[in-house]
Homo-oligomer: A and B are copies of this chain.
């Protein structure tokens, strides 16, 4: 395992000095194992710490008064969790481990000191946050303006590409580790309808499933159906020069 999952993921997109890498690695000095289903943070909890995810899956969500759940984001190894917590004193969203995971909590004030000592990291986090915002707007358009089938297609493609960023072993099949209900709660559908769409897409030869692993058979058609655009190629990697 690398010294810093977070730095490792960052360097897929942006350039870091050795000092910055070392500083980021210090955020991951206290790994903690959490079991599938364990709550890491609840809405309205006073915020004292943020996290880096090393292994497994974590997701953020909110529960509406009528009991329905909206999953906001699924986190993968190397992801920085809880950026929302930097600007609020109480958690605006809950965090739960979707599968057995290893998270690295660090103090909110430790992050502030890091930003003071390594000002360029603040700019990097600003950029990262903007990228996350764009991916959020893509989901907004998906939820607001597309059919159930398009949402499922876009969701699978998004998960596939995000998994590949940190996991080189992924070729064309991957273990999502999400139930169909969790997929539905991510894209604003019921598990019943997610199931309908998945089976339909299987019959059409778009995807296949073998013991829980998805395989995307026809990328091109999936991207078409899901109105999916991979934004990675448009990233401005050198805007913020090194050192």
Chain A interfacial positions (CB closer than 8 Å to B):
47, 60, 62, 64-65, 68-70, 72-73, 83-84, 86-90, 92-93, 108, 112, 115, 119-120, 122-123, 125-134, 136-137, 139-141, 143-146, 185, 187-188, 227, 231, 234-236, 239-240
Contact = CB atoms under 8 A, between A and B. Distances in A.
B122 A87 contact: no
A137 B72 contact: yes
A191 to B, nearest CB: 14
A27 to B, nearest CB: 15
Nearest to A62: B141
A89 B235 contact: yes
18 contacts: A64-B145, A64-B146, A72-B141, A83-B133, A87-B128, A87-B235, A92-B231, A112-B240, A115-B126, A126-B129, A136-B140, A140-B140, A140-B143, A143-B143, A143-B144, A144-B185, A144-B188, A145-B188
Nearest to A72: B137
B134 A133 contact: no
Given A133-B133, A144-B185, 19 more contacts: A64-B145, A69-B145, A70-B141, A70-B145, A83-B130, A86-B130, A87-B127, A92-B137, A92-B234, A108-B239, A115-B123, A115-B126, A115-B240, A119-B120, A123-B126, A129-B133, A136-B140, A143-B144, A145-B188
Contacts of A130: 83-84, 86-87, 129
A134 B84 contact: yes
Contacts of A227: 64-65
Contacts of A129: 126, 129-130, 133
Contacts of A144: 70, 143, 185, 187-188
A50 to B, nearest CB: 11
A62 to B, nearest CB: 5
Contact of A87 (B47, B108, B131, B145): B131
A188 to B, nearest CB: 3
A240 B116 CA distance: 9
A64 B138 CA distance: 11
